[in-house]
Amino acid sequence: MLMLRTLASPHLARRTGTVCRALRQARARITTQHGNLPSSESPITPNLQFISSVTQDGSKIPTYRVLDGAGTPLEGAILPDIDEAMARRMYENMVQLPIIDNLMYNVQRQGKLAFYVTHYGEEATLIGSAAALAPDDEVFGQYRELGVLMWRGFTIDNMMNSCFGNCEDPCTRGKQMPMHFGTRAYHFHTISSPLATQIPQAAGAAYAIKRDPARRGKNCAAVYFGEGAASEGDFHAGMLFASTIGSPTLFIVRNNGFAISTPATEQYYGDGIAARGPGYGVHTIRVDGNDVYAVYSAVKEARRLCIEEGRGVLVEAMTYRVGHHSTSDDSFAYRPRQEVEDRKRIDNPIARFRLFLEARGWWSEAEEGAHKARTKEAVMAAFRRAETLPKPEVREMFDHVYGGEDPWMIREQREELSRLLRKYGEAWEPWRAELQKHKGAGRELIGEQP
Ligand SMILES: Cc1ncc(C[n+]2csc(CCOP(=O)(O)OP(=O)(O)O)c2C)c(N)n1
Ligand SMILES: [Mg+2]
């Protein structure tokens, strides 16, 4: 039986408590009437009955929403405790994302960047959840979570230098694909391309947090993934670990309707990803991922539960991937343009939040224009600078591949490259031209004595 934790409603929570007590008593009666099982409290029943739903009546798991599509609070909904300054900061961060996406997408199309993924449509899921986390909670992302990292202070310059992999890349110094960010300073673990690997890693990191007296009860590990990634075995491994061993892991699934060209409906036969949470005995909520206030409240409460109980909690944010999967995809090959156009309008996360803010007098047309102009200018300036900066020194490709002292194979590879550069670096044209793109033109390696 599903026990979805009732959010923000003490009345409903009390009612749920009463219902649960009554059910427990009824179950106890049945159990004692027909016998007991050795390793389960499962009530024994003479009814031949199958179940295929986590809700009692077979209906879908509800979706938690605070603001309607026009930004008006729903009747009976409790608004999160967010003041004007915080609300404005959330909105500004949401608006910044599509401005960055527009430019980066075009830059990639001009052949100046290897790869990019946009966040169109998922701004509320990213910013609402990021704002509900503590800045030192460990974050494990998939690749579409730039907004979470930027909420923590990662700047437009940081993003741009990392995407260009230049000598000021604050993440991996050019060792990773664009969008595969990672920085200790913001507790954001480096993205890896193989889907879902971050999920058991997060469950393990959360266990380490639980074992650390300085962090136990204070932090969690939040892991983001798509509904497509949730089809991987790693999703189940992470959920099982976080529920049985018990580790404060906040599972945030962005259900954006697609895994590249595969629609979400082909990823599961059951009721989305949320239906799996109760199977692992973890508190679960489905939330409107286009309602930034609902996402904020759901993730805040999920985080509290997760840390208090030292166990996994699952949040399924329902949203829509408005953009193509990545710059390597043309989504109109598998979905109608009209569907995308409709989804841009209906429940648009940014327009909806703007209407809410304007109704409170917290935002205006003039501020909108100024903020957009400022952001566009900052993104353009960062781009112009990043594209002219040289790539890191060649020797840096060997640095920090492993923690601590370099192992023998790294030393060997470095010596080999140094030898080859001495022999061919100046003489062979492809290498000579390539070396010029790097800071120091490889001289630091060429000059190394064997
Ligand atoms: C193990 C693995 N299989 C396949 C891929 C190729 N791949 C990259 S992204 C992606 C779709 C993921 O969809 P989803 O998890 O829903 O995230 P979204 O892109 O929608 O944000 C696939 C199949 C991969 N990177 N790793
Ligand atoms: Mg998806």
Q: State the Cα–Cα distance between residues 28 and 121, nearest whole angstrom.
A: 48
Pairing type for strands 258-259 and 262-263 reads: antiparallel
Residues 414, 270, single domain; the answer is no
193 C-beta closer than 6 A to ligand 1: yes
Q: State the Cα–Cα distance between residues 255 and 259, nearest whole angstrom.
A: 9
Report CA dihedral (127, 129, 132, 135) to the nearest 10 degrees. -80
- Which pLDDT belongs to residue 13? 47
- The answer to whether residue 153 is domain-embedded is yes
Mind listing the pLDDT tens digit of every residue in the chain (450 residues)?
333 443 444 444 445 456 556 666 665 555 567 888 999 999 999 999 999 999 989 999 999 999 999 999 999 999 999 999 999 999 999 999 999 999 999 999 999 999 999 999 999 999 999 999 999 999 999 999 999 999 999 999 999 999 999 999 999 999 999 999 999 999 999 999 999 999 999 999 999 999 999 999 999 999 999 999 999 999 999 999 999 999 999 999 999 999 999 999 999 999 999 999 999 999 999 999 999 999 999 999 999 999 999 999 999 999 999 999 999 999 999 999 999 999 999 999 999 999 999 999 999 999 999 999 999 999 999 999 999 999 999 999 999 999 899 999 999 999 999 999 999 999 999 999 999 999 999 999 988 765
Number of residues that make up the chain: 450
Q: Specify the ligand 1 atom closest to the Cα of 117.
A: 19
Residues 412, 378, single domain; the answer is no
Strand extents, DSSP E, 50-99: none
224 C-beta closer than 6 A to ligand 1: no
Q: Determine the distance separating the centroid of ligand 2 and the alpha carbon of 349, expressed in angstroms.
A: 17
Q: Which residues lie closer than 8 Å to 353 by C-beta, 6 or more apart?
A: 67, 71, 90, 91, 94, 124, 292, 293
Listed residue (183, 193, 188, 192) closest to 205, CA to CA: 188
Q: Whose C-alpha lies nearest to ligand 1, atom 7?
A: 195
Number of Cβ within 10 Å of residue 209's Cβ equals: 23
- Which pLDDT belongs to residue 213? 98
Residue-number span of the structural domain to which 437 is assigned? 394-446
Residues 337, 375, single domain; the answer is yes
Q: Whose C-alpha lies nearest to ligand 1, atom 21?
A: 226
Beta-carbon neighbours within 5 Å of ion ligand 2: 226-228, 256, 259
Residues 355, 408, single domain; the answer is no
- The answer to whether residue 328 is domain-embedded is yes
Q: State the Cα–Cα distance between residues 72 and 63, nearest whole angstrom.
A: 17
pTM (predicted TM-score): 0.92
In angstroms, the Cα distances linking 160 to 79, 225, 247, 379, 387 are 35, 23, 34, 8, 9
272 C-beta closer than 6 A to ligand 1: no
Q: To test ligand 1's pocket by mutation, which of 142, 195, 232 has the most ligand atoms within 8 angstroms of CB?
A: 195
278 C-beta closer than 6 A to ligand 1: no
Q: State the Cα–Cα distance between residues 437 and 68, nearest whole angstrom.
A: 52
Q: Determine the distance separating the centroid of ligand 2 and the alpha carbon of 321, expressed in angstroms.
A: 7
Q: Determine the distance separating the centroid of ligand 2 and the alpha carbon of 383, expressed in angstroms.
A: 28
205 C-beta closer than 6 A to ligand 1: no
Q: Specify the ligand 1 atom closest to the Cα of 267.
A: 16
Q: Tell me the torsion sign for CA atoms 357, 362, 364, 370.
A: negative
SS (H, E, C) 327-347: CCCCHHHCCCHHHHHHHHHCC
Residues 97, 239, single domain; the answer is yes
State which amino acid sits at residue 232.
E
Pairing type for strands 138-140 and 188-189 reads: parallel
Residues 431, 344, single domain; the answer is no
- The answer to whether residue 296 is domain-embedded is yes
Q: Determine the distance separating the centroid of ligand 2 and the alpha carbon of 326, expressed in angstroms.
A: 12
Kindly provide the b/e burial profile for residues 60-88, where b requires at least 16 CB atoms within 10 angstroms of the residue's own CB: ebebbbbbbbebeeeeebeebebeeeebb
Instruction: List pLDDT tens digits, range 74-131.
Output: 999 999 999 999 999 999 999 999 999 999 999 999 999 999 999 999 999 999 999 9
Q: Is-contact 106 118, C-beta < 8 A?
A: no
229 C-beta closer than 6 A to ligand 1: yes
Residues 306, 422, single domain; the answer is no
Give the number of domains in the chain.
2
Of 388, 412, 433, the residue at which a domain comes to its end is 388
Pairing type for strands 221-226 and 249-255 reads: parallel
- The answer to whether residue 262 is domain-embedded is yes
227 C-beta closer than 6 A to ligand 1: yes
30 C-beta closer than 6 A to ligand 1: no
- The answer to whether residue 170 is domain-embedded is yes
Q: Determine the distance separating the centroid of ligand 2 and the alpha carbon of 350, expressed in angstroms.
A: 20
Q: Which secondary-structure segment (H or E) carries 189?
A: strand 188-189
Q: To test ligand 1's pocket by mutation, which of 254, 260, 321 has the most ligand atoms within 8 angstroms of CB?
A: 260
Encoded tokens for 17: 């408590």
DSSP 365-414: HHHHHHHHHHHHHHHHHHHHHHHHSPBPPGGGGGTTSSSSSPPHHHHHHH
SS (H, E, C) 3-43: CCCCCCCHHHHHHHHHHHHHHHHHHHHHHHHHCCCCCCCCC
DSSP 260-291: TTEEGGGT-SSSTTGGGTGGGT-EEEEEETT-
Residues 164, 206, single domain; the answer is yes
* Neighbouring-strand partners of residue 391: 438
Residues 243, 323, single domain; the answer is yes
352 C-beta closer than 6 A to ligand 1: no
Residues 301, 412, single domain; the answer is no
Residues 236, 368, single domain; the answer is yes
Q: State the Cα–Cα distance between residues 209 and 221, nearest whole angstrom.
A: 8
258 C-beta closer than 6 A to ligand 1: yes
- Report which bound ligand comes closest to the CA of 146: 1
Q: State the Cα–Cα distance between residues 381 and 391, nearest whole angstrom.
A: 18
CATH of residue 312: 3.40.50.970
Q: Is-contact 19 55, C-beta < 8 A?
A: no
- The answer to whether residue 58 is domain-embedded is no
- The answer to whether residue 37 is domain-embedded is no
141 C-beta closer than 6 A to ligand 1: no
Of 388, 410, 432, the residue at which a domain comes to its end is 388
Encoded tokens for 347: 């429940």
As separate numbers, helices (DSSP H) first and strands (DSSP E) second, the chain gives 14, 8
Residues 176, 213, single domain; the answer is yes
- The answer to whether residue 164 is domain-embedded is yes
Of 372, 388, 404, the residue at which a domain comes to its end is 388
Q: State the Cα–Cα distance between residues 250 and 304, nearest whole angstrom.
A: 10
Q: Tell me the torsion sign for CA atoms 331, 334, 337, 340.
A: negative
Q: What are the backbone dihedrals phi and psi of residue 6, each rounded to the nearest 5 degrees, phi first?
A: -80, 120
